[in-house]
Structure 1
Amino acid sequence: MLRHYPSSRKLPVAILLPLLLAQVLLAGCSVTKTVPEGDALFTGFSVNVEDENDSSQRGPELETELSATVRPEPNASILGLRPKLGIYNAFYTEKDKGLKHWIMTKLGEPPVLVSQVDTGSVSQVMSSRLHNRGYFINSVSSTTDIDTAKKKGTIAWTARVGEPYRLRNIKYTLDDSLQVHQVIERAKPESLLKPGEPYDLSVMTDERIRLDGVLKNSGYYFFSPDLLIFSVDTTVGNRQADVLLRVKRAAAAQSLKPYALDDIFIFANYSLGDSLSVNDTIDYKGYHYIPNENYVKAKHVLDGVFLESDSLYTREDHLLTTKRLSGLSAYKFVNIDYEPDTAAAGKLDAFIYLTPSLRKSLRAEAQMVTKSNNFAGPGVKVSFRNRNTFRGSEVLNVEVTGSFESQVGGRGTGTAPEGVSKPSNTNLTSYELGVQSTLAIPRIVSPFDFYNLRTEFVPQTRMGLGFNFLSRSGYYDMNSYNASYGYTWRPRETLTFDATPINLQYVRLANTTPAFENLLTTNPYLRRSFEDQFILGAIYQLTYSNQMRKDKLSNIFNKVTLDISGNLMSGVQSLLGNPPPTDDEPRTLVNQSYAQYTLLDNDFRHYLNLGKESQLVARLVTGIGYSYGNSSTMPYVKQFSIGGPNSIRAFRARSVGPGSYNVPDSLLFSFFDQTGDIRLEGNLEYRFPITGFFKGAVFADAGNIWNLRETDKEGAKFEAKDFLSELAVGTGVGLRIDIEFFVIRLDLGIPVMVPYLPKGDRFVLNKFNGSFNGDYGMVLNIAIGYPF
């Protein structure tokens, strides 16, 4: 098929908004402006595989593979537009310096010409690829189509294939007297080569690598895949092939015998240029530890060493040791070498070289803060880190943070109704100061002994202690103290367990203003959620993610969180005969009430990779929190909210819900902070490159929060028959400045469905006013990093 991007006529209006701006900027700049006379712009190509006589039906797969061989590729295109070529043309200059030259060469891209495509060479490469896939008889031809008037051209390749050669007999020519051949024979049942399958050179290469891995895990340290030779006989007729595998006759003797480990030396404080003297060696549990324990104690390093003296060498143990030791923060480089033992035949000495990291660091950074309450603003963070605090690779991290938070546009802005006072601060600003210290210990610390698990990821014990001060301008201050003790365990690359059995938090409201006190007096539900209280519980998280596998078409991220509080304390007090709690007289700890609840939250994301830099991302977030026993409401800091830079971006943070509740005018231009017990949110975002480090996005968000119980807020309780009609929906466009180590994000949200308006009036896109005021206006979100 011809490799053009879809026509914009098939796209929704929202997608065209950012493209219209690009079209205006590039207006008047013909994409063929710098194409020489007599040549043409290479605008696209197609690859068609004619496989009517091929029973394997691999045509689409082959077309994709052959398309990847076309060089050079056409100019980068976004939905039919070529912005980088447009920049090149707009700033074209023959000078070799200056601003225009810099923009032309750094942000632009010269036209790719039809004359630059060597169709003969490309056709030959395609033919070779088909040969490698079993099509020993094939033909590839090309046709070039040039529109001389428009100076544009396309190329079409056609590949004709018949039935591929298939494998008939697969034999391993081995000498049973050699042990290496016996190992290969035992591995034969798992062979990747199957009789009847089409001949495929890549599968044969993979089979050599598989057998090499089997041998490496059986002690054959000096063996390599190129010692295995496949012979293929295609003369047997009927488009069949016989395959013979053998080991090279000239293979060195040392590559054909297994090795066991003898002495294991650990250089615990190694740097390039060190003399490898072993005079100051500590013998610890059969290992030679060099030079001493002044940097990291030997017992802590050995938790990550899976090489044992007198055991058979295996690549699995080698890689496991390398990855575990690399996970220790005290070291930045890990290298393991082996040498034959001169005193013992069939033995290897192992040398583990550990290069220390910078032990202490102090870092200050300015940042754009995005918090769980969906507020965003500029901030500063100063952090101190010690990567080897107690000579066991423990990481002590102390962070001092300060931030100022606000949003622009949306509800609660513009002109207040008559009789409603409007404060000078319409952006609901706040500022926050905090200090948080964490200690991460690279092992399990508990009263019980745990077996050292054979996982390549270092298990961690986490301890935390911190204080946070939040001032909500004109309303209240909030002091929050926290302490935690937990574990992180990653049994495999895609799965992570976080268990925090001790999670303590104390929240205290202070310096409330008369206006806020009046709100608490008239709203018992809000008052109970803001009460000073302890949170005594545990948090458990399970995270699955395969995002590290960049070669996959799609990636998945899913995190499940279980947060419980107060159950243990309530059970102890019940056993002690304490009276049951009531709303007016809850049970207390040191004369302070404590929260009792269970919260379950799930965050699911799917990343569909549509190209080298384009991506379609979908997210679904669901959560429910239920208070009981000692609490009639969820604590304010644990309730759900919706809206803001990382949520529904067409609405301000905490401005939506619960349900269809409509904030009265008396509060709309002062304090409104909507929270709930249930959250449902879905997001869909298409991300695409623009030029250089500028990226674009088009998004649609939907969601809301609800209460589980009746409150004084009309329409706030969750009702199954109404929840779909109560979803807030927004759309918009975004600009991201992605310079690899951080991303500055600007998202412009436009409301589509407003749940707090009367039924029948909730669709508001046709009332969009193009301003940053009121229910029908835009919201500008500024943040660091991608929203999800």
Structure 2
Amino acid sequence: MPLMFIALVMSGCNMTKTVPEGDALFAGYNVRVKGEKDSSNRQADMETELAATVRPEPNFSILGWRPGLGIYNAFYTEKESGVKHWIMDKFGDPPVLLSEVDTGAVSTVMSNRLHNRGYFNNTVGSETTIEEKKATIEWTASVGEPYRIRKIEYTLNDSLPVHQAIAQTKTNSRLQPGEPYDLGRMTQERVRIDSLLRNRGYYFFSPELLIFSVDTTVGDRQVDVLLRIKRAAESRALRPYTIDDVFIMANYSVGDSLSTNDTLSFRGYHYIPNEDYVKARHLLKGVFLEQDSLYTRQNQLLTVRRMSGLPAYKFANLEYERDTAQSDKLDAFLYLTPALKKSLRAEARMVNKSNNFAGPGVTVSFRNRNAFKGSELFTLEVTGSFESRTGGTGTGEAPEGVEQVGNDNLTSYELSAQASLSIPRIVSPFNLRNLRTEFVPQTRIGLGFNFLNRVEFFQMNSYNATYGYNWRPNQFWTFDATPINLQYVRVNSSEYFDSLLQARPFLQRSFENQFIIGSIYQATYSNQMLERTHQFFDNITLDLSGNSLNAVQSLTGSPPPTDEEPRSIAGSRFSQYVLLDNDFRYYLNIGAESQLVTRLVTGAGYSYGNSTTLPYVKQFSIGGPNSVRAFRARSVGPGTYEIPDTAAFAFFDQTGDIRLQANLEYRFPIAGFFKGAVFVDAGNIWLLREDPDRLGGKFEANDIINELAVGTGFGLRVDVEFFVIRLDLGIPVRVPYRDSGERFVLNEFNGSFSGENSMVLNIAIGYPF
């Protein structure tokens, strides 16, 4: 079916198929700015700015192919109903015609843009070329030396405080003598002054009250700029205000009227109507308005955003009114609309895990958004799933002589329950100052249980408890500290599984009953919320376990741990390790929807003292839908180790102590909510210690590049904003377990989904990174 669709689209590659006679397809355009006498060196910027004014834009194209127009042509019909009309209308783009382009109007807009940038004397013309019913237009703008600012004066001659406040900001002005005249910078200057005044008490001030006068008659292509306040400005806009009374309506619904009959006075605030919903002492940690303090827009935004981030509330709105008794004061009214307090949700889904287990699952979750009248979010989630997986790295029947336990497919049952409490404030034995940030700080408490039954192999019971904090000092940085991270893993294994572990001592230690008692710290930087050409994301994680407990036992005289006699707690070994992981991403935005993304993931974990290996759940892996997509999940490495047939058809995943992974992906639009991608992935894992059962797995710095698994491929994504369905087809390029001169396998690609050097189809939700 997909091949038929592609064939039909390719049949519409005659781009002018639906172009009417006497017209032409608007196939492209170019904008040139000629300014031999322009010393500002802004030609390239001006060409980009002028190109953005062209309307309409040509049909989207990639490498000369116009997919939307191709779909429109392939399914074109004059009928207004039917499947062909639906596909044409939903996924196709009609041809953009030359007759729709008003070159004169576009030239006028370009000329105005140039005038706004200081080129008061400019000419703009266009030339159209038509070949085989395809039209291209070239706009040419001729400019000279731009007019420059000679001097800037602020006409602030009276004694009003507002004039003094504006004068104090002059050193930070967006306008500087000698720079080209720029209307956009003048607009920015008005906004800058308004922002400063709003944070000095001038609640009723606005940018529209500022007027720029420009004198272009001073000669020598220079202008004098004068800034003043409108003479008609109201007196209330020219005076600062302080806050008088603060009214907090903590249980507000649209249409409610303000009544002070049930007002509760708390620390100088008027809390309406009572504390039956959220207690005032908890809510006031996010209110940054104080009686008799100067009004500032910053405190206003901080308060609204902090209130909006509370789980207990759906909407937050802050309004001000002039005090009736004191004309220089404002009364503040904070309206908080509660969210639905409790909810119960059941979700059936298809589980597709990174270790190739897949199957149906059911999750039932309960939420209470105001558990203890402090806007605490309590969540209880119960999940049950049945999953199966075919072989660790291969599929089908086990080869002759290789034992395969139970059914043809490995099966797994899982039941988990996780309770968490998120408190929107820092709960600590220390008296910490309130964070002045628009993001709600959180204290997180978690308690959970997980039962995993891999039929005929083992049963694993896992218990966990966590206590931690999350806070964002600004929009770029997020910090997560979990000083208490407790986990206990107990494994009951079958005789067959025991025999496999006895043959692999390193793996056996990973599956021992053990405690993980430590801390996890994370720091994340991201500027993806900004619309920039260059965007960055970086997450660094430090995971520690067993150090404090080992130190206590050393101080109390416990004998040093050995591999045969490790230190324990409650009869079980505890893990001791340090793990550092970093995930760095760079996004280069190309045009409106295309994007080039690079990713580098590095990690290393070192076990010591009471442990000789990392816990199995903490070890690294490579391969799968979010890693090296040309290889099956968790099947690569370590190093040049090749999985023997005896393990390939068991459950074993390949894990290691060191990880290196790099990804390069180009994302582009196709049509509508269909997006495409091409990618190259590389990566591997290694061991810090020699494992006789996994020869070639030990880390050697000189061999890193030669031991990377490399894959390429392409993908299709259905991106409908609130969710993304992703299909990535991976093709192996280099496999690390072959001999050094035989690792490149692209010329051996078999074009199928089975056998050596075959394709791997990854189906997932969301983008890989």
Q: Give the conservation status (yes or no) of the 8 Å contact 2:391–2:648.
A: no
**Secondary structure at 1:36's aligned position in 2?**
coil
Please state whether the residue corresponding to 2:502 is helix, strand or coil.
helix
1:378 deviation in Å?
4.8
Kindly state the Cα deviation for residue 366 of structure 1 after the two structures are TM-superposed. Answer: 3.4
Deviation, structure 1 residue 375: 5.2
Unaligned runs of 5+ in 2: none
Query: Aligned pair 1:223/2:166, yes or no?
Result: no
Residue in 1 that maps onto 2:430: 448
Greater mean deviation of Cα atoms: 497-506 or 724-733: 724-733
Q: CA-to-partner distance for each residue in 1:588-628, whole Å, 9 max, x for gaps?
A: 10111100000000011111111222111111110000001
- The alpha-carbon deviation at position 660 of structure 1 amounts to 0.5
1:650 to partner: Cα distance: 1.0
Whether 1:263 aligns to 2:245 is yes
Pairwise CA distance, 1:405:
4.8
Give the aligned partner of residue 760 of structure 1.
741
Q: Deviations over 1:165-191 (max 9, x none)?
A: 111100100024111100001111111
Whether 1:129 and 2:129 are equivalent positions in the alignment is no
Structure-2 change in CA distance of 1:671 and 1:280 (3 Å): closer
Q: Counterparts in 2 of 1:391-430, with a 5 A limit?
A: 391-405=373-387, 411-413=393-395, 416-421=398-403, 430=412
Is contact 1:411–1:773 with CA below 8 Å preserved after alignment? no
Equivalence for 1:552: 532
> Does residue 49 of structure 2 align to residue 58 of structure 1?
no
Deviations 1:556-587 (A, max 9, x none): 11100000000111000011000000001101
Q: Which residue of 1 aligns with 2:718?
A: 737
Residue correspondence of structure 1 range 667-678 to structure 2 within 5 A? 667-678=647-658
* Aligned equivalent of 1:346: 328
**Counterpart in the other structure of 1:708:** 688
Match of 2:589 in 1: 609
Give the equivalent residue in structure 2 for 1:523.
504
The residue type paired with residue 734 of structure 2 is M
Q: Give the match for residue 144 of structure 1.
A: 128
TM-score for the superposition, normalised by structure 2: 0.97
Greater relative CO (CA pairs within 8 A, separation 6+): 1
Aligned to 2:85: 101
1:241 matches 2:223: yes
Q: 1:777 to 1:247 in 2, by over 3 A?
A: same
Q: Secondary structure at the match of 1:491?
A: coil
Aligned to 1:186: 168
Quote the offset at 1:217 in angstroms.
Answer: 0.9
Provide Cα deviations, 1:735-774, integer angstroms capped at 9, x if missing partner: 1122221111111111111111122111111111122223
Shift of 1:414: 5.1
Please give the alpha-carbon distance, in whole angstroms, between the structure 2 residues aligned to 1:604 and 1:523.
34
- Report deviation, 1:540: 0.3
The residue number in structure 1 matching 2:549 is: 569
Mapping of 1:168-187 within 5 angstroms? 168-187=150-169
- Aligned mates of 1:603, 1:424 — CA distance in 2: 39
State how 1:438-477 maps to structure 2 within 5 Å. Answer: 438-477=420-459
Per-residue deviation, 1:20: 12
Q: 2:56 matched to 1:76?
A: no
> Given the superposition, is the C-alpha separation of residues 234 and 424 from structure 1 closer, same or farther in structure 2, using an over 3 Å criterion?
farther
| Secondary structure of 1:202's aligned partner | helix
Query: What's the counterpart of residue 263 of structure 2?
Result: 281
Shift of 1:79: 2.3
Say whether the 8 Å CA contact 2:585–2:597 is kept in structure 1: yes
Per-residue deviation, 1:418? 3.9
- Structure 2 counterpart SS, 1:456: coil
Task: Note if 1:720 corresponds to 2:701.
Answer: yes
**Which stretch shifts more, 531-540 or 373-382?**
373-382
Identity of aligned residues (%): 69
Q: Secondary structure at the match of 1:624?
A: strand
SS of the residue corresponding to residue 575 of structure 2 reads coil
Which is further off, 698-707 or 375-384? 375-384
Aligned pair partner of 1:689 in 669, 686, 698: 669
The Cα shift of 1:539 comes to 0.2
| TM-fit CA distance, 1:251 | 0.7
Aligned amino acid, residue 66 of structure 1: L
TM-superposed CA distance for 1:474, in Å, is 4.1
Distance in 2 (alpha carbons) for counterparts of 1:465 and 1:565 = 18
2:354 & 2:548 partners in 1: Cα distance?
27
Cα distance in structure 2, aligned partners of 1:25 and 1:756: 41
Give the whole-Å Cα distance in 2 for the aligned partners of 1:161 and 1:378. 67
- Of 482, 490, 515, 1:534 maps to 515
What is the 5 A alignment of 1:297-308?
Answer: 297-308=279-290
1:262, 1:130 → 2: CA distance?
A: 49
Amino acid of the structure 1 residue aligned with 2:57: E
Equivalent residues of 1:368, 1:783 under 8 A apart: no
Distance 1:767 1:473 in 2: 37
Provide the alpha-carbon RMSD of the alignment.
1.9
Over 3 Å counting, the alpha-carbon distance change for 1:702 and 1:500 in structure 2 is: same
SS of residue in 2 equivalent to 1:25: helix
In 1, the alpha carbon distance for the partners of 2:662 and 2:401 equals 38
2:640 equivalent to 1:656: no
- Give the secondary-structure state (helix, strand or coil) at the position aligned to 2:491: strand
SS at structure 1 position matched to 2:743? coil
Whichever residue aligns with residue 184 of structure 2, its letter is S
Q: Tell me the equivalent position of 1:198.
A: 180
Deviation at 1:479, TM superposition (A): 1.6
Instruction: Assess if the C-alpha contact under 8 Å between 2:443 and 2:470 holds in 1.
Output: yes
Q: 1:118 to 1:424 in 2, by over 3 A?
A: farther
For residues 309 and 410 of structure 1, the distance between their equivalents in structure 2, rounded to whole angstroms, comes to 66
Equivalent in 290, 295, 313 of residue 272 of structure 2: 290
Give the CA deviation at 1:89: 1.7
Are the aligned partners of 1:266 and 1:351 in contact in 2 as well (CA < 8 Å)?
yes
Partner of 2:762: 781
1:560–1:376 CA distance, 2 compared to 1 (3 A): farther
1:358 counterpart (336, 340, 347): 340
SS in 2 for 1:332: strand
SS class of match (1:26): helix
Secondary structure of 2:211's partner? Answer: strand
Alignment CA distance shift 1:402-1:607 (3 Å): farther
Query: Which residue, out of 165, 170, 180, partners 2:147?
Result: 165
Normalising to structure 1: TM-score of the pair?
Answer: 0.95
CA contact (8 A) 1:409 1:773 kept: no
In structure 2, the residue corresponding to 1:681 is in which secondary structure?
strand
1:4-23 equivalent positions in 2, closer than 5 A? 22=6
1:219 counterpart letter in structure 2:
G
> CA 1:28 to 1:67, structure 2 compared with 1: closer, same or farther past 3 Å?
closer
Q: 1:574 to 1:288 in 2, by over 3 A?
A: same
The DSSP-based 3-state class of the residue aligned with 1:760 is helix
Which residue of the partner structure matches residue 369 of structure 2? 387
**CA 1:718–1:500: 2 relative to 1, 3 Å:** same
TM-fit CA distance, 1:516: 1.9
Aligned pairs, number: 767
Question: Which letter maps to 1:37?
Answer: E
Q: Which moved more, 1:304-313 or 1:369-378?
A: 369-378
Asked if the contact 1:509/1:531 (under 8 Å) is kept, the reply is yes
Q: Are positions 1:155 and 2:122 aligned together?
A: no
Structure 1: distance between partners of 2:445 and 2:642: 42
Indicate if the aligned counterparts of 1:408 and 1:779 stay in contact, CA closer than 8 A.
Answer: no
Question: SS of the residue aligned with 1:344?
Answer: coil
| Residues 238 and 341 (structure 1), Cα distance of their counterparts in 2 relative to 1, 3 Å cut | same
- Equivalent of 2:495 in 491, 505, 514: 514
C-alpha separation in 2, matches of 1:236 and 1:138: 20
Structure 1's 429 and 644: CA in aligned 2 closer, same or farther, altered over 3 A?
Answer: farther
What is the alpha-carbon distance in structure 2 between the residues aligned to residue 154 and residue 587 of structure 1?
A: 78
Distance verdict in 2 for CA 1:47–1:380, change over 3 Å: farther
Structure 1 gap segments, 5+ residues each: 1-17
Deviations 1:401-438 (A, max 9, x none): 23455678994235654433456766655443211111
